[in-house]
Amino acid sequence: MARIYTRTGDDGTTVRIGGKRVPKDSLPIEAGGSLDELNALLGVVRSYALPDRVDRILQRVQDHLFTIGAELATPEGTAPKSQEIGEEEIHGLESEIDSLQEGLQPLTQFILPGGAGAGAALHLARAVARRAERKCVSLSHVEKINPRILRYLNRLSDLCFVLARYVNQQHSAPERHPTFGKSPR
């Protein structure tokens, strides 16, 4: 690729795998954009000093998000997908969540997003993962997508929440609770 810009999208369209041009605000592009934003945010999280375990988990997730993005960019009936998110990746997230939670205090009430820089960014990643999931759900109403994508994204937001708590614990950042309109103590 000689240039990064092509000028072909100047009219507000982009191309999906298979060559069909679509509006940049179409559901498949919105869903893919949300995944891209989430992946970029996880890259920001990884720029912090993280425990090796957390960094390895996030690297694997970033790879998975690229796979999901490629799946969504490939309309049904186009070139076969080289790789798909499957049960193994979903179970991998569940195993990480279960393992990380063993070392955390059980939750008895809601907590506010925040804490150490990486922990706060992981709380934000949880919210972005939820948005990406909503965009993919919307897409699934108009186009057939791999149903495991929705399950994966649902688990991923849970993983981001648990990772935020884990990282904050590692940084001795206390969890804050909402006051629900009462004055904080």
Q: What are phi and psi of 60, to 5 degrees?
A: -65, -40
Q: What is the pLDDT along the chain (185 residues), one digit of tens a residue?
A: 577 887 877 778 777 777 778 767 789 889 999 999 999 999 999 999 999 999 999 999 999 999 999 999 887 767 655 678 999 999 999 999 999 999 999 999 999 999 999 999 999 999 999 999 999 999 999 999 999 999 999 999 999 999 999 999 999 999 998 988 776 55
Kindly report the pTM of this predicted structure: 0.90
Report d(CA 25, CA 35) in Å as an integer.
Answer: 14
Residue whose C-alpha is closest to residue 122's, from 31, 48, 35: 48
Cα of 143 vs its chain's centroid, Å: 21
What are the residue ranges spanned by the domains of the chain?
21-170
Query: What's the fold here for domain 21-170?
Result: Hypothetical Protein Ta1238; Chain: A; (1.20.1200)
3-state DSSP of 68-109: HHHHHHCCCCCCCCCCCCCHHHHHHHHHHHHHHHCCCCCCCC
